[in-house]
Amino acid sequence: MKVLVMDDDPQILEALTIGLELQWQDSEILSATDGEAGLSQFYAHEPDVIVLDVAMPRKNGFEVLKEIRRISDVPVIMLTARGDEMDQVRGLELGADDYVTKPFSHLALLARIKAVLRRTEMPAPVRALPDFRAGELAVHFQSHEVTVGGAPIKLTPVEYKLLYHLVRNAGRLMPHQALLDRVWGEDYDATTDYLKVFVSRLRAKIEREGGPRYIETERGIGYRFVRPQDT
């Protein structure tokens, strides 16, 4: 297991490296103190998960995340200042899978990393059911491929799991907590605002301007996948 940690504070970087190596003995910890060096490590070593600080020289965390998401769906956990909700929301909107606020314990970060890795495991292929189709949207359960108008749509594993549970319950209202439990797990403390960001990310990828709206919002309650002919 390769973990790439990017932070411009050498003391934090050293403490994280030592802490993760002690707590997770089968891991290899890669490190970088600026965005450019971090991207070089990313391209050279293809890490399994990335811990990414927002404030870094040469390229900040948001710029690094944008470049990573152009080619990879590797799980990314952002490090943000405590209470800086704008950074947290922006990171999620750009494709981060989770965030941890400073200061934090090594055990808390390790738990977040393991939780993100569990969430990025794809649902098992559904062999007894045909592929799901609604309008131009198709979900191929065997390959975990999603297409719109025949063109492949790149989803992160968490986005795919969210879509998977929505389409498997097409036409039925999925309460916020049900989606949070199924996608993130019952022991995770994600909020409805967290879910809202991921639904927005999913909509941006599968819903085209002027086209059908597949995900319907029941304000304060949950979300429903709606086939075009039902709208």
Greatest CA span in the chain, whole angstroms? 57
Record the pTM: 0.63
Residue 124: is it exposed, middle or buried by C-beta count within 10 angstroms (0-12/13-18/19+)? Answer: exposed
Structural domains for the chain: 2-119 (3.40.50.2300), 132-230 (1.10.10.10)
Q: Which of 77, 60, 58 lies closest to 5, judged by CA?
A: 77
pLDDT at 187 over 70: no
**Position 50: which residue type?**
I
- Omega within 30 of 0 (cis) for the link into 103: yes
Cβ neighbours of residue 10 closer than 8 Å, sequence gap 6 or more:
33
pLDDT at 231 over 50: no
What is the three-class DSSP state of 153? strand
- Report the 3 state secondary structure along 198-214: HHHHHHHHHCCCCCCCC
Q: Compute φ and ψ for 6, nearest 5 degrees.
A: -120, 120
pLDDT band at 16 (very low <50, low <70, confident <90, very high): confident
pLDDT band at 91 (very low <50, low <70, confident <90, very high): confident
Comparing 1-10, 51-60, 67-76, 127-136, the range with the smallest average pLDDT is: 127-136
pLDDT at 128 over 50: no
